[in-house]
Protein backbone atom coordinates (compact mmCIF):
# COMPACT_ATOMS: atom_id res chain seq x y z
CA UNK A 1 0.00 0.00 0.00
CA UNK A 2 1.08 3.53 -0.68
CA UNK A 3 1.02 6.05 2.12
CA UNK A 4 -2.59 7.20 1.91
CA UNK A 5 -1.56 10.84 2.35
CA UNK A 6 0.45 10.49 -0.87
CA UNK A 7 -2.68 9.14 -2.58
CA UNK A 8 -4.69 12.08 -1.21
CA UNK A 9 -2.11 14.55 -2.48
CA UNK A 10 -2.61 13.15 -5.98
CA UNK A 11 -6.17 14.56 -5.67
CA UNK A 12 -4.84 17.95 -4.51
CA UNK A 13 -5.80 17.22 -0.89
CA UNK A 14 -3.56 18.01 2.09
CA UNK A 15 -3.50 16.67 5.63
CA UNK A 16 -5.75 19.51 6.88
CA UNK A 17 -8.48 18.31 4.47
CA UNK A 18 -8.52 14.78 5.89
CA UNK A 19 -9.85 12.97 8.96
CA UNK A 20 -7.98 9.66 9.52
CA UNK A 21 -9.94 6.46 10.13
CA UNK A 22 -7.05 4.26 11.16
CA UNK A 23 -4.13 4.11 8.73
CA UNK A 24 -6.08 2.84 5.74
CA UNK A 25 -8.96 5.30 5.16
CA UNK A 26 -9.61 9.03 5.33
CA UNK A 27 -12.76 11.07 5.54
CA UNK A 28 -12.60 14.16 3.30
CA UNK A 29 -13.82 17.30 5.05
CA UNK A 30 -16.77 19.13 3.49
CA UNK A 31 -14.83 22.43 3.04
CA UNK A 32 -12.27 20.51 0.98
CA UNK A 33 -15.01 18.95 -1.16
CA UNK A 34 -16.46 22.36 -2.00
CA UNK A 35 -13.15 24.13 -2.58
CA UNK A 36 -12.62 25.08 -6.26
CA UNK A 37 -10.45 22.64 -8.18
CA UNK A 38 -9.84 21.02 -11.55
CA UNK A 39 -13.44 20.13 -12.51
CA UNK A 40 -12.52 16.94 -14.33
CA UNK A 41 -14.48 14.99 -16.93
CA UNK A 42 -16.88 12.21 -15.95
CA UNK A 43 -17.24 8.68 -17.37
CA UNK A 44 -20.22 6.45 -16.48
CA UNK A 45 -19.45 2.74 -15.99
CA UNK A 46 -22.56 0.61 -16.43
CA UNK A 47 -23.38 -2.84 -17.83
CA UNK A 48 -25.60 -5.16 -19.82
CA UNK A 49 -28.38 -6.96 -17.93
CA UNK A 50 -26.42 -8.96 -15.38
CA UNK A 51 -26.01 -12.63 -14.64
CA UNK A 52 -26.49 -13.63 -10.95
CA UNK A 53 -22.74 -13.24 -10.34
CA UNK A 54 -22.70 -9.68 -11.70
CA UNK A 55 -20.66 -8.32 -14.58
CA UNK A 56 -17.79 -6.84 -12.58
CA UNK A 57 -18.36 -3.10 -13.04
CA UNK A 58 -16.40 -2.33 -9.87
CA UNK A 59 -13.48 -4.49 -10.99
CA UNK A 60 -13.48 -2.87 -14.44
CA UNK A 61 -13.74 0.65 -12.99
CA UNK A 62 -10.74 0.02 -10.75
CA UNK A 63 -8.72 -1.54 -13.57
CA UNK A 64 -9.47 1.35 -15.92
CA UNK A 65 -8.43 3.96 -13.34
CA UNK A 66 -5.19 2.06 -12.71
CA UNK A 67 -4.58 1.88 -16.48
CA UNK A 68 -5.26 5.59 -16.95
CA UNK A 69 -2.78 6.46 -14.23
CA UNK A 70 -0.21 4.15 -15.85
CA UNK A 71 -0.69 6.31 -18.96
CA UNK A 72 -0.10 9.47 -16.94
CA UNK A 73 -3.73 10.58 -16.63
CA UNK A 74 -4.76 12.11 -13.31
CA UNK A 75 -7.73 9.73 -12.79
CA UNK A 76 -9.89 8.64 -9.86
CA UNK A 77 -12.81 6.29 -9.20
CA UNK A 78 -16.11 7.06 -7.47
CA UNK A 79 -17.58 3.83 -6.08
CA UNK A 80 -20.34 2.70 -3.73
CA UNK A 81 -19.70 1.26 -0.28
CA UNK A 82 -20.53 -2.44 0.05
CA UNK A 83 -23.62 -3.59 1.93
CA UNK A 84 -23.15 -6.52 4.30
CA UNK A 85 -26.31 -8.10 2.87
CA UNK A 86 -24.54 -9.26 -0.33
CA UNK A 87 -21.23 -9.74 1.53
CA UNK A 88 -22.75 -12.53 3.64
CA UNK A 89 -25.22 -13.54 0.94
CA UNK A 90 -24.70 -14.87 -2.56
CA UNK A 91 -22.90 -12.10 -4.39
CA UNK A 92 -20.08 -11.35 -1.94
CA UNK A 93 -18.17 -8.12 -1.44
CA UNK A 94 -17.91 -5.04 -3.63
CA UNK A 95 -14.23 -4.09 -3.69
CA UNK A 96 -13.32 -5.57 -7.07
CA UNK A 97 -11.30 -8.73 -7.58
CA UNK A 98 -7.93 -10.19 -8.50
CA UNK A 99 -5.42 -7.43 -9.30
CA UNK A 100 -8.15 -4.80 -9.63
CA UNK A 101 -9.19 -4.27 -6.02
CA UNK A 102 -9.78 -1.49 -3.53
CA UNK A 103 -7.92 -1.98 -0.27
CA UNK A 104 -8.25 -2.72 2.62
CA UNK A 105 -10.91 -5.02 1.13
CA UNK A 106 -12.02 -6.84 4.30
CA UNK A 107 -12.42 -3.62 6.27
CA UNK A 108 -14.37 -1.95 3.45
CA UNK A 109 -16.65 -4.97 3.00
CA UNK A 110 -17.50 -5.04 6.70
CA UNK A 111 -17.81 -2.00 9.02
CA UNK A 112 -15.46 0.39 7.13
CA UNK A 113 -15.96 3.92 8.55
CA UNK A 114 -19.36 3.12 10.05
CA UNK A 115 -21.45 5.01 7.49
CA UNK A 116 -24.01 2.25 6.93
CA UNK A 117 -24.37 1.76 10.69
CA UNK A 118 -25.09 5.48 11.06
CA UNK A 119 -27.72 5.31 8.31
CA UNK A 120 -29.33 2.28 9.96
CA UNK A 121 -29.45 4.00 13.34
CA UNK A 122 -30.79 7.30 11.98
CA UNK A 123 -33.53 5.49 10.04
CA UNK A 124 -34.55 3.39 13.03
CA UNK A 125 -34.49 6.43 15.35
CA UNK A 126 -37.19 7.96 13.16
CA UNK A 127 -39.19 4.72 13.36
CA UNK A 128 -38.86 4.75 17.16
CA UNK A 129 -39.91 8.42 17.34
CA UNK A 130 -42.98 7.67 15.23
CA UNK A 131 -44.14 4.80 17.41
CA UNK A 132 -43.36 6.73 20.57
CA UNK A 133 -45.48 9.66 19.40
CA UNK A 134 -48.44 7.33 19.04
CA UNK A 135 -47.76 5.69 22.43
CA UNK A 136 -47.48 9.03 24.21
CA UNK A 137 -51.01 10.12 23.36
CA UNK A 138 -50.78 10.57 19.58
CA UNK A 139 -50.85 14.37 19.65
CA UNK A 140 -50.20 14.43 15.89
CA UNK A 141 -53.32 12.30 15.29
CA UNK A 142 -51.33 9.81 13.24
CA UNK A 143 -53.41 7.19 11.46
CA UNK A 144 -51.57 3.90 12.25
CA UNK A 145 -52.82 2.21 9.06
CA UNK A 146 -51.10 4.92 6.99
CA UNK A 147 -47.58 4.39 8.39
CA UNK A 148 -45.08 3.81 5.60
CA UNK A 149 -41.77 3.84 7.47
CA UNK A 150 -40.30 0.36 8.11
CA UNK A 151 -37.21 -0.51 10.14
CA UNK A 152 -33.96 -1.30 8.30
CA UNK A 153 -31.08 -3.73 8.74
CA UNK A 154 -27.88 -4.08 6.71
CA UNK A 155 -28.35 -7.83 6.21
CA UNK A 156 -30.45 -10.10 4.00
CA UNK A 157 -33.30 -11.51 6.12
CA UNK A 158 -36.51 -12.59 4.37
CA UNK A 159 -38.28 -13.44 7.65
CA UNK A 160 -38.33 -9.70 8.44
CA UNK A 161 -40.40 -8.81 5.38
CA UNK A 162 -43.46 -8.93 7.64
CA UNK A 163 -43.25 -8.32 11.39
CA UNK A 164 -45.56 -7.28 14.22
CA UNK A 165 -44.65 -3.93 15.84
CA UNK A 166 -46.76 -3.63 18.97
CA UNK A 167 -50.25 -4.26 17.63
CA UNK A 168 -49.67 -3.34 13.98
CA UNK A 169 -48.04 -5.01 11.02
CA UNK A 170 -44.78 -3.58 9.75
CA UNK A 171 -41.64 -4.71 7.94
CA UNK A 172 -37.89 -4.35 7.56
CA UNK A 173 -36.01 -3.24 4.46
CA UNK A 174 -32.30 -3.53 3.78
CA UNK A 175 -30.35 -0.37 4.69
CA UNK A 176 -29.37 0.29 1.07
CA UNK A 177 -33.08 0.80 0.29
CA UNK A 178 -33.58 3.38 3.06
CA UNK A 179 -34.57 6.90 2.11
CA UNK A 180 -31.90 8.02 4.57
CA UNK A 181 -29.31 6.30 2.37
CA UNK A 182 -30.65 8.16 -0.68
CA UNK A 183 -30.66 11.46 1.21
CA UNK A 184 -27.06 10.99 2.37
CA UNK A 185 -26.04 10.21 -1.20
CA UNK A 186 -27.68 13.37 -2.60
CA UNK A 187 -27.14 15.97 0.17
CA UNK A 188 -24.58 18.72 -0.46
CA UNK A 189 -24.04 20.00 3.10
CA UNK A 190 -25.05 19.45 6.72
CA UNK A 191 -27.76 22.09 6.28
CA UNK A 192 -29.08 20.38 3.15
CA UNK A 193 -28.94 17.03 4.97
CA UNK A 194 -31.06 18.32 7.86
CA UNK A 195 -33.57 19.96 5.50
CA UNK A 196 -33.99 16.75 3.52
CA UNK A 197 -34.38 14.68 6.69
CA UNK A 198 -37.08 17.07 7.93
CA UNK A 199 -39.03 16.48 4.70
CA UNK A 200 -39.29 12.70 5.09
CA UNK A 201 -42.97 11.67 5.11
CA UNK A 202 -43.69 8.72 7.39
CA UNK A 203 -47.51 8.63 7.61
CA UNK A 204 -50.65 10.72 7.37
CA UNK A 205 -52.87 12.07 10.11
CA UNK A 206 -56.63 11.46 10.39
CA UNK A 207 -57.37 14.36 8.07
CA UNK A 208 -55.03 13.05 5.36
CA UNK A 209 -52.22 15.55 5.99
CA UNK A 210 -48.68 14.22 5.70
CA UNK A 211 -46.68 13.63 8.90
CA UNK A 212 -42.95 14.33 8.57
CA UNK A 213 -39.75 13.86 10.55
CA UNK A 214 -39.92 17.59 11.26
CA UNK A 215 -43.35 17.10 12.88
CA UNK A 216 -41.81 14.40 15.09
CA UNK A 217 -38.92 16.77 16.02
CA UNK A 218 -36.35 14.06 15.30
CA UNK A 219 -34.57 15.30 12.16
CA UNK A 220 -31.92 17.18 14.14
CA UNK A 221 -30.95 14.08 16.09
CA UNK A 222 -30.87 12.06 12.87
CA UNK A 223 -28.52 14.62 11.33
CA UNK A 224 -26.23 14.34 14.36
CA UNK A 225 -25.99 10.58 13.82
CA UNK A 226 -25.13 11.22 10.17
CA UNK A 227 -22.71 14.11 10.71
CA UNK A 228 -19.50 12.19 10.04
CA UNK A 229 -21.12 9.81 7.55
CA UNK A 230 -21.83 12.72 5.17
CA UNK A 231 -18.11 13.18 4.57
CA UNK A 232 -16.79 11.05 1.65
CA UNK A 233 -14.27 8.25 2.23
CA UNK A 234 -10.89 8.05 0.50
CA UNK A 235 -9.11 4.72 -0.03
CA UNK A 236 -6.81 3.31 -2.72
CA UNK A 237 -6.46 0.50 -5.24
CA UNK A 238 -3.77 -2.18 -5.15
CA UNK A 239 -1.82 0.03 -7.56
CA UNK A 240 -2.22 3.13 -5.38
CA UNK A 241 -4.90 4.93 -7.41
CA UNK A 242 -7.35 7.14 -5.48
CA UNK A 243 -10.87 5.82 -4.88
CA UNK A 244 -13.65 7.80 -3.24
CA UNK A 245 -16.07 5.22 -1.85
CA UNK A 246 -19.20 6.68 -0.33
CA UNK A 247 -22.82 5.54 0.14
CA UNK A 248 -24.27 2.37 -1.32
CA UNK A 249 -27.83 2.58 -2.64
CA UNK A 250 -28.82 -0.46 -4.75
CA UNK A 251 -29.83 0.35 -8.33
CA UNK A 252 -32.79 -2.07 -8.29
CA UNK A 253 -34.20 -0.42 -5.14
CA UNK A 254 -32.79 3.13 -5.21
CA UNK A 255 -30.72 5.32 -7.51
CA UNK A 256 -27.69 3.07 -7.45
CA UNK A 257 -24.58 5.22 -7.47
CA UNK A 258 -22.12 6.70 -4.97
CA UNK A 259 -22.65 10.08 -3.37
CA UNK A 260 -22.90 13.46 -5.00
CA UNK A 261 -20.29 14.79 -2.55
CA UNK A 262 -17.96 11.93 -3.43
CA UNK A 263 -18.27 12.73 -7.12
CA UNK A 264 -17.65 16.43 -6.48
CA UNK A 265 -14.54 15.58 -4.43
CA UNK A 266 -13.21 13.36 -7.22
CA UNK A 267 -13.97 15.89 -9.97
CA UNK A 268 -12.20 18.75 -8.16
CA UNK A 269 -9.01 16.69 -7.79
CA UNK A 270 -8.84 14.58 -10.96
CA UNK A 271 -8.92 15.20 -14.70
CA UNK A 272 -10.97 12.06 -15.40
CA UNK A 273 -13.39 10.40 -12.97
CA UNK A 274 -14.93 6.98 -13.56
CA UNK A 275 -18.17 6.46 -11.66
CA UNK A 276 -19.97 3.14 -11.41
CA UNK A 277 -23.77 2.94 -11.49
CA UNK A 278 -25.32 -0.32 -10.35
CA UNK A 279 -26.66 -3.21 -12.45
CA UNK A 280 -27.56 -2.60 -16.10
CA UNK A 281 -27.87 0.59 -18.11
CA UNK A 282 -31.66 0.26 -17.73
CA UNK A 283 -31.35 0.68 -13.95
CA UNK A 284 -28.25 2.42 -12.57
CA UNK A 285 -27.36 3.92 -15.94
CA UNK A 286 -30.80 5.47 -16.46
CA UNK A 287 -30.98 6.86 -12.93
CA UNK A 288 -27.46 8.26 -13.22
CA UNK A 289 -28.47 10.22 -16.32
CA UNK A 290 -32.06 11.14 -15.40
CA UNK A 291 -31.80 11.66 -11.62
CA UNK A 292 -28.22 11.99 -10.39
CA UNK A 293 -26.46 14.09 -13.04
CA UNK A 294 -29.10 16.87 -13.16
CA UNK A 295 -28.52 17.37 -9.42
CA UNK A 296 -24.75 17.06 -9.82
CA UNK A 297 -24.84 19.73 -12.52
CA UNK A 298 -22.57 17.79 -14.88
CA UNK A 299 -23.06 15.11 -17.52
CA UNK A 300 -20.65 12.29 -18.34
CA UNK A 301 -18.70 12.61 -21.58
CA UNK A 302 -19.04 8.92 -22.37
CA UNK A 303 -20.06 5.53 -20.98
CA UNK A 304 -18.34 2.18 -20.58
CA UNK A 305 -20.70 -0.79 -20.89
CA UNK A 306 -19.35 -3.92 -19.17
CA UNK A 307 -20.27 -7.39 -20.41
CA UNK A 308 -19.18 -10.92 -19.56
CA UNK A 309 -19.48 -14.28 -21.26
CA UNK A 310 -21.79 -15.39 -18.43
CA UNK A 311 -24.04 -12.41 -19.12
CA UNK A 312 -24.04 -13.06 -22.87
CA UNK A 313 -24.86 -16.76 -22.34
CA UNK A 314 -27.89 -15.72 -20.27
CA UNK A 315 -29.12 -12.69 -22.22
CA UNK A 316 -27.53 -12.94 -25.66
CA UNK A 317 -25.46 -10.47 -27.68
CA UNK A 318 -28.66 -8.64 -28.62
CA UNK A 319 -28.97 -7.53 -24.99
CA UNK A 320 -25.53 -5.88 -25.18
CA UNK A 321 -26.48 -4.28 -28.50
CA UNK A 322 -29.74 -3.04 -26.98
CA UNK A 323 -28.03 -1.37 -24.01
CA UNK A 324 -25.38 0.26 -26.21
CA UNK A 325 -28.03 1.68 -28.55
CA UNK A 326 -30.08 3.02 -25.62
CA UNK A 327 -27.04 4.75 -24.13
CA UNK A 328 -26.32 6.35 -27.49
CA UNK A 329 -29.97 7.39 -27.72
CA UNK A 330 -29.30 9.45 -24.58
CA UNK A 331 -26.61 11.22 -26.64
CA UNK A 332 -23.79 9.42 -24.82
CA UNK A 333 -20.92 7.69 -26.70
CA UNK A 334 -20.53 4.16 -25.32
CA UNK A 335 -17.61 1.71 -25.33
CA UNK A 336 -18.34 -2.01 -24.86
CA UNK A 337 -15.75 -3.79 -22.69
CA UNK A 338 -15.69 -7.59 -22.30
CA UNK A 339 -14.57 -8.31 -18.73
CA UNK A 340 -12.36 -11.38 -19.04
CA UNK A 341 -12.63 -14.06 -16.34
CA UNK A 342 -9.81 -16.59 -15.80
CA UNK A 343 -12.00 -19.52 -16.89
CA UNK A 344 -13.22 -17.85 -20.10
CA UNK A 345 -12.66 -19.59 -23.43
CA UNK A 346 -10.59 -17.41 -25.82
CA UNK A 347 -12.57 -18.79 -28.77
CA UNK A 348 -15.92 -17.91 -27.19
CA UNK A 349 -14.66 -14.45 -26.20
CA UNK A 350 -13.52 -13.75 -29.74
CA UNK A 351 -16.84 -14.95 -31.13
CA UNK A 352 -18.72 -12.45 -28.92
CA UNK A 353 -16.37 -9.63 -29.90
CA UNK A 354 -16.85 -10.49 -33.58
CA UNK A 355 -20.63 -10.57 -33.24
CA UNK A 356 -20.64 -7.12 -31.63
CA UNK A 357 -18.34 -5.80 -34.35
CA UNK A 358 -20.80 -7.10 -36.97
CA UNK A 359 -23.53 -5.09 -35.20
CA UNK A 360 -21.50 -1.91 -35.67
CA UNK A 361 -19.75 -1.70 -32.30
CA UNK A 362 -16.00 -1.64 -31.56
CA UNK A 363 -15.72 -3.72 -28.34
CA UNK A 364 -12.52 -4.22 -26.40
CA UNK A 365 -11.45 -7.12 -24.19
CA UNK A 366 -10.09 -6.36 -20.69
CA UNK A 367 -8.20 -8.60 -18.27
CA UNK A 368 -8.06 -6.41 -15.19
CA UNK A 369 -8.70 -9.33 -12.82
CA UNK A 370 -5.51 -11.04 -13.96
CA UNK A 371 -3.33 -8.07 -14.92
CA UNK A 372 -4.70 -5.02 -13.10
CA UNK A 373 -4.28 -1.74 -14.97
CA UNK A 374 -2.00 -3.38 -17.53
CA UNK A 375 -4.97 -5.42 -18.72
CA UNK A 376 -6.96 -2.31 -19.71
CA UNK A 377 -4.43 -0.04 -21.40
CA UNK A 378 -6.14 -0.09 -24.81
CA UNK A 379 -9.48 0.95 -23.29
CA UNK A 380 -7.79 3.56 -21.10
CA UNK A 381 -6.08 5.03 -24.15
CA UNK A 382 -9.49 5.33 -25.82
CA UNK A 383 -11.01 7.01 -22.74
CA UNK A 384 -8.26 9.62 -22.47
CA UNK A 385 -8.71 10.82 -26.05
CA UNK A 386 -10.13 14.29 -26.46
CA UNK A 387 -13.73 14.44 -27.70
CA UNK A 388 -16.52 17.04 -27.77
CA UNK A 389 -18.76 17.21 -24.67
CA UNK A 390 -21.69 14.80 -24.89
CA UNK A 391 -25.10 16.33 -25.53
CA UNK A 392 -27.12 14.19 -23.11
CA UNK A 393 -30.90 14.19 -23.47
CA UNK A 394 -32.75 12.83 -20.40
CA UNK A 395 -35.74 10.55 -20.96
CA UNK A 396 -38.05 12.93 -19.11
CA UNK A 397 -38.27 16.26 -17.36
CA UNK A 398 -39.14 16.22 -13.62
CA UNK A 399 -42.13 18.55 -14.11
CA UNK A 400 -43.91 16.10 -16.45
CA UNK A 401 -46.91 14.15 -15.04
CA UNK A 402 -45.91 10.86 -13.44
CA UNK A 403 -47.58 8.60 -15.99
CA UNK A 404 -45.72 10.36 -18.81
CA UNK A 405 -42.43 9.79 -17.01
CA UNK A 406 -43.23 6.15 -16.31
CA UNK A 407 -44.03 5.55 -19.98
CA UNK A 408 -40.88 7.38 -21.06
CA UNK A 409 -38.79 4.96 -18.97
CA UNK A 410 -40.79 1.76 -19.51
CA UNK A 411 -41.56 2.18 -23.21
CA UNK A 412 -38.62 4.34 -24.28
CA UNK A 413 -35.91 2.41 -22.40
CA UNK A 414 -37.17 -1.03 -21.33
CA UNK A 415 -39.11 -1.69 -24.53
CA UNK A 416 -42.50 -2.14 -22.81
CA UNK A 417 -45.75 -1.69 -24.71
CA UNK A 418 -47.43 0.07 -21.79
CA UNK A 419 -47.48 0.68 -18.04
CA UNK A 420 -50.21 -0.55 -15.71
CA UNK A 421 -50.78 0.76 -12.16
CA UNK A 422 -52.40 -1.49 -9.57
CA UNK A 423 -55.43 -0.14 -7.67
CA UNK A 424 -53.13 0.52 -4.70
CA UNK A 425 -50.69 2.48 -6.88
CA UNK A 426 -53.55 4.48 -8.41
CA UNK A 427 -54.79 5.45 -4.93
CA UNK A 428 -51.27 6.45 -3.90
CA UNK A 429 -50.82 8.50 -7.07
CA UNK A 430 -54.02 10.42 -6.37
CA UNK A 431 -52.74 11.26 -2.88
CA UNK A 432 -49.30 12.31 -4.12
CA UNK A 433 -50.90 14.47 -6.81
CA UNK A 434 -52.93 16.16 -4.08
CA UNK A 435 -49.70 16.90 -2.23
CA UNK A 436 -48.02 18.10 -5.44
CA UNK A 437 -45.53 15.25 -5.42
CA UNK A 438 -46.21 13.64 -8.81
CA UNK A 439 -43.86 16.23 -10.37
CA UNK A 440 -40.28 15.27 -9.56
CA UNK A 441 -37.69 12.59 -10.27
CA UNK A 442 -38.60 8.93 -10.76
CA UNK A 443 -36.50 6.13 -9.25
CA UNK A 444 -37.82 2.87 -10.68
CA UNK A 445 -37.51 -0.24 -8.51
CA UNK A 446 -37.51 -3.44 -10.54
CA UNK A 447 -35.62 -6.68 -11.05
CA UNK A 448 -32.08 -6.32 -12.38
CA UNK A 449 -32.24 -9.64 -14.24
CA UNK A 450 -34.56 -8.52 -17.03
CA UNK A 451 -35.51 -5.41 -18.95
CA UNK A 452 -39.07 -6.34 -17.95
CA UNK A 453 -40.49 -6.65 -14.43
CA UNK A 454 -40.11 -10.46 -14.54
CA UNK A 455 -36.62 -11.63 -13.60
CA UNK A 456 -37.19 -14.95 -15.39
CA UNK A 457 -37.38 -13.28 -18.82
CA UNK A 458 -33.82 -12.72 -20.11
CA UNK A 459 -32.58 -11.15 -23.33
CA UNK A 460 -34.60 -8.36 -24.91
CA UNK A 461 -38.30 -8.94 -24.09
CA UNK A 462 -40.85 -7.10 -26.23
CA UNK A 463 -44.51 -6.10 -26.09
CA UNK A 464 -44.83 -6.59 -22.32
CA UNK A 465 -46.72 -4.44 -19.85
CA UNK A 466 -44.73 -3.05 -16.94
CA UNK A 467 -46.84 -3.58 -13.82
CA UNK A 468 -46.45 -1.07 -10.97
CA UNK A 469 -47.73 -2.59 -7.74
CA UNK A 470 -47.16 0.44 -5.51
CA UNK A 471 -45.65 3.91 -5.32
CA UNK A 472 -43.42 5.01 -2.46
CA UNK A 473 -42.74 8.70 -1.89
CA UNK A 474 -39.22 9.76 -0.92
CA UNK A 475 -39.91 13.44 -0.26
CA UNK A 476 -36.56 14.07 1.42
CA UNK A 477 -34.61 12.43 -1.38
CA UNK A 478 -36.78 14.21 -3.94
CA UNK A 479 -38.17 11.30 -5.93
CA UNK A 480 -41.00 8.78 -6.26
CA UNK A 481 -40.24 5.05 -6.26
CA UNK A 482 -42.56 2.98 -8.46
CA UNK A 483 -42.12 -0.68 -7.45
CA UNK A 484 -42.53 -2.99 -10.43
CA UNK A 485 -43.47 -6.66 -10.30
CA UNK A 486 -42.73 -8.66 -7.15
CA UNK A 487 -39.43 -6.98 -6.20
CA UNK A 488 -38.75 -7.05 -2.44
CA UNK A 489 -36.91 -4.31 -0.55
CA UNK A 490 -35.58 -6.94 1.88
CA UNK A 491 -33.52 -9.59 0.05
CA UNK A 492 -33.32 -13.16 1.31
CA UNK A 493 -30.35 -15.48 1.68
CA UNK A 494 -29.59 -18.23 -0.84
CA UNK A 495 -29.38 -21.95 -0.06
CA UNK A 496 -25.59 -21.62 0.25
CA UNK A 497 -24.89 -18.11 1.55
CA UNK A 498 -21.38 -16.77 1.49
CA UNK A 499 -21.22 -16.48 5.31
CA UNK A 500 -20.57 -20.25 5.38
CA UNK A 501 -17.11 -19.55 3.92
CA UNK A 502 -16.15 -16.66 6.23
CA UNK A 503 -14.22 -17.18 9.46
CA UNK A 504 -11.47 -15.86 11.69
CA UNK A 505 -8.15 -17.70 11.93
CA UNK A 506 -6.30 -18.32 15.20
CA UNK A 507 -4.05 -15.40 14.21
CA UNK A 508 -7.03 -13.05 13.86
CA UNK A 509 -7.02 -13.00 10.04
CA UNK A 510 -10.36 -12.67 8.23
CA UNK A 511 -10.73 -15.22 5.42
CA UNK A 512 -13.51 -16.16 3.02
CA UNK A 513 -14.90 -12.78 1.98
CA UNK A 514 -15.01 -12.73 -1.79
Residues 6+ apart with CB under 8 A from 431: 204, 208
Give CA–CA dist 176/84, Å, rounded.
Answer: 10
**Residue 93 scores a pLDDT above 90:** no
pLDDT score recorded for residue 91: 80
Contact 384, 43 (CB under 8 A): no
Q: What is the DSSP letter of 254?
A: S
Give CA–CA dist 382/390, Å, rounded.
Answer: 15
Do residues 238 and 306 both lie within one domain? yes
Residue from 148, 188, 189 nearest 165 by CA: 148
Residue from 52, 55, 49 nearest 414 by CA: 49
Do residues 153 and 27 both lie within one domain? no
Residue from 487, 490, 438 nearest 466 by CA: 487
Final residue before a domain boundary, out of 208, 225, 242: 225
Do residues 431 and 360 both lie within one domain? no
Q: CA angle at residue 482 from 478 to 486, to 5 degrees?
A: 145
> How many domains does the chain fold into?
3
Do residues 249 and 106 both lie within one domain? yes
pLDDT score recorded for residue 1: 84
Q: What is the CATH number of the domain that holds 84?
A: 3.40.50.300
Do residues 127 and 105 both lie within one domain? no
Do residues 262 and 328 both lie within one domain? yes
Query: Using 50, 70 and 90 to split pLDDT, how confident is the model at 514?
Result: confident
Give CA–CA dist 160/273, Å, rounded.
Answer: 39
364 burial class (0-12, 13-18, 19+ CB within 10 angstroms)?
Answer: middle
Give CA–CA dist 174/151, Å, rounded.
Answer: 9
For 321-366, what is each residue's pLDDT tens digit? 999 999 999 999 999 999 999 999 999 999 999 999 999 999 999 9
Final residue before a domain boundary, out of 192, 210, 225: 225
Please give the residue range of the domain that contains residue 218.
115-225
E-state strands within 331-434: 334-339, 364-366, 418-421
For 135-192, what is each residue's pLDDT tens digit? 999 999 999 999 999 999 999 999 999 999 888 899 999 999 999 999 999 999 999 9
Do residues 210 and 129 both lie within one domain? yes
Question: Alpha carbon of 296 to those of 260, 272, 276: distances in Å?
Answer: 6, 16, 15
**Residue 437 scores a pLDDT above 90:** no
Do residues 247 and 101 both lie within one domain? yes
Do residues 301 and 333 both lie within one domain? yes
Residue from 482, 487, 469 nearest 422 by CA: 469
Q: What is the DSSP letter of 272?
A: E
pLDDT score recorded for residue 53: 83
For 303-322, what is each residue's pLDDT tens digit? 999 999 999 999 999 999 99
Runs of H (alpha helix) within 76-234? 84-88, 105-109, 115-135, 179-186, 190-198, 219-226
Give CA–CA dist 404/401, Å, rounded.
Answer: 5
Q: What is the CATH number of the domain that holds 209?
A: 3.30.1510.10
Q: Is residue 426 part of a domain?
A: yes
pLDDT above 90: percentage of residues in the chain? 90
For 204-219, what is each residue's pLDDT tens digit? 999 999 999 999 999 9
Amino acid sequence: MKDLLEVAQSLDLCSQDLIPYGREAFKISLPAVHRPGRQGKLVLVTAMSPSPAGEGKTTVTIGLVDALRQLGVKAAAALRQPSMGPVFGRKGGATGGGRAQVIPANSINLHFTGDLHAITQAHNLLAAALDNSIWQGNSLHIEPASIQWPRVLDLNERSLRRVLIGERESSFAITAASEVMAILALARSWKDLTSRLESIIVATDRSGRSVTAADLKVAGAMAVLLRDALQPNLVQTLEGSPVIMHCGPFANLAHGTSSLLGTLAALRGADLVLQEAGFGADLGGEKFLDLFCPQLGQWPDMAVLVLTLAGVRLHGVENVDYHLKKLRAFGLPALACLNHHPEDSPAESQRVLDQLAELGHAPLSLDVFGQGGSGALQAADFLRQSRPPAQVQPLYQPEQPLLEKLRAIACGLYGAADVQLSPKAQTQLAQYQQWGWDRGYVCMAKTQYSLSDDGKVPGVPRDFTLSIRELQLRAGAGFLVPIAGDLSVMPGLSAQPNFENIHLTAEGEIVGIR
